[in-house]
Amino acid sequence: MKSPWLYALLVAYSATSGWAQQGQTAPQTDGNRTPADVQVLRLDDVVREALEKSPEAESALHAIKALQYRIAPAKALPDPTVAVGWAGNPAPFSIMAHDASSYRGVTVSEQFPFPGKRKLQGAIAGKDVEAAQANYEAIRRRLTAEVKAAYYEYFYDDKALQTAHRNKATLEELAQIAAAQYRAGKAAQPDVLRAQVEVSLLLKKIVELEAQRSAAQAQLNAQMQHAPESPLPPAEEAEPAAMPASLDQLYALAAENDADAQGDQKLIERGQLAVALAEKQLRPDLGVSYMFQQRADQPDMNGLTFSVNLPIFSKSKQRQAIGEASENLISAGKTRDGRLNQLRLAVRQQYLAAKAAEKLMSLYTKGVIPQGSLALESSMASYQTGKIAIQPVIENITTLLDYETDYYRQLADYQTALARMESLTGEVAPALPSVAEPAKQLVPKEK
């Protein structure tokens, strides 16, 4: 007959493992609370708060508003000038009696740029705003990807720690069973010692995982502008999302939607306008002046003057400005081309990382963990009948711990790769009904 201690151990390990047989998940509880009662840290809430409180995003937003104030002045006329003067009498603004050459007067002047210049200046200022808006969006996307990466690292550390505590309880129970069998003369004392040593080693790992979890918690708190030591609830359960598109489609989406590439395009458009404006500077501006004069013993005089500037030094001035604007335009184009090349590389790297993690998750759920569960069940049965020592059972428990932990590592890496891909393509990966979680350790049936 099977030992009731061993059977109870297997039942307890299976019930608390968090994996469901054949990919079906079982609800987790905490004491007397139902799953709905347990507070969790939701990804959407973390991202929203991080973006709302980000000093970098706020700074970029105010930079946009500052640039918007440049548009109206860029399109406005130059300020008019007013000049006053007098002649013949040293007293301010006075005229000398009976002297026809003595006068006092005022002159108002205005410059009218050649048609199209002001429009181009306003358009250039508008492109500066659009480039800043693209930069703001790039910052938001990058911050979102960074927050999601930190969140999934926290998720992994949390799950790894839960799995380690669950295995610690299992090993402690196994040590008690080994001690009971030793007292009954059915097991050797080294079995008890090996189980106790393994519990101590797992305690060491738990300490390391707690340190990792604290670091991930501090990182998340920093991104939400909280104190690093602020407590956080466990991360909500994460379902693997679907790959959003094929690699070629992702390339096209990235080229179209990447915020940095869009910002580079706005700078190219700005450069084109700057070249057009520099060429317009070869055209003369019109100056208009109105003059009013009062003279002694003479009627008041009104005068109107028209003037134009003559760009006779265009070779050393305007032509140089055209050359500068043209070179800046070429530079902006090369920057955009370089960004598109790097964009394809970045998309490919994240795509391949996601595909690799996806394959490994499938391997764990469909093969490695179910096989590890069967190996544990078999070794437990063999240990129960005295066919093997306790060491293979311990190895199977710790190996299964590694398998489960590795599954969560791949899940976190997969979701992180999708988040980084999303920041490049602007596309949100749709939710997947499910990629099955690793199978639960099997409960041995009574024979």
Helix, coil or strand: residue 82: strand
Confidence (pLDDT) at 440:
39
CA angle 288, 294, 299 (to 5 degrees): 105
Q: Is position 92 within any domain? A: no
Confidence (pLDDT) at 318:
93
Burial call 59-89: b when 16+ CB within 10 Å, e when fewer: ebbebbeebeebbeebbeeeeeeeeeebebb
- Side by side, the strands of the sheet bearing 81-87 are 81-87, 103-112, 286-295, 298-308
Confidence (pLDDT) at 68:
96
CATH number for the domain harbouring residue 325: 1.20.1600.10
* Residue tagged 């987790």 (tokens): 28
> Domain span at residue 65?
4-78+128-280+315-425
Confidence (pLDDT) at 340:
92
Q: Is position 442 within any domain? A: no
Distances in Å between the Cα of 58 and the Cα atoms of 50, 138, 146, 199 are: 11, 13, 17, 49
Q: Is position 137 within any domain? A: yes
Confidence (pLDDT) at 28:
38
Confidence (pLDDT) at 188:
67
Q: Is position 390 within any domain? A: yes
Domain count, the chain: 1
Task: Give the CA radius of gyration of the chain.
Answer: 38
For 218, the token pair is: 């501090």
pTM strictly above 0.75: yes
Measured CA to CA, the distance from residue 26 to residue 314 in angstroms comes to 80
DSSP 283-308: SPPEEEEEEEEEETTEEEEEEEEEEE
Q: Is position 259 within any domain? A: yes
Q: Is position 430 within any domain? A: no
- Work out whether the CA dihedral 25, 31, 32, 33 comes out positive or negative: negative
Q: What pairs with residue 24 in β-bridges?
A: none
Confidence (pLDDT) at 356:
94
Nearest alpha-carbon partner for 407 in 356, 369, 380: 369
Measured CA to CA, the distance from residue 201 to residue 191 in angstroms comes to 16
Mean pLDDT of each 10-residue bin along the chain, 447 residues long? 43 42 36 51 93 93 96 96 90 82 92 96 96 94 94 94 87 79 72 81 90 94 92 89 84 92 95 96 96 88 94 93 96 94 94 94 88 82 73 84 91 94 72 36 33
Burial call 5-23: b when 16+ CB within 10 Å, e when fewer: ebbebbeebbebbbbbeeb
User: Which residue type occupies 175?
Assistant: A
Q: Is position 87 within any domain? A: no
A 10 A CB-CB count for 143 gives 18
Confidence (pLDDT) at 187:
67
Measured CA to CA, the distance from residue 207 to residue 220 in angstroms comes to 20
Q: Is position 99 within any domain? A: no
Measured CA to CA, the distance from residue 201 to residue 172 in angstroms comes to 12
Farthest CA pair distance, the chain: 140
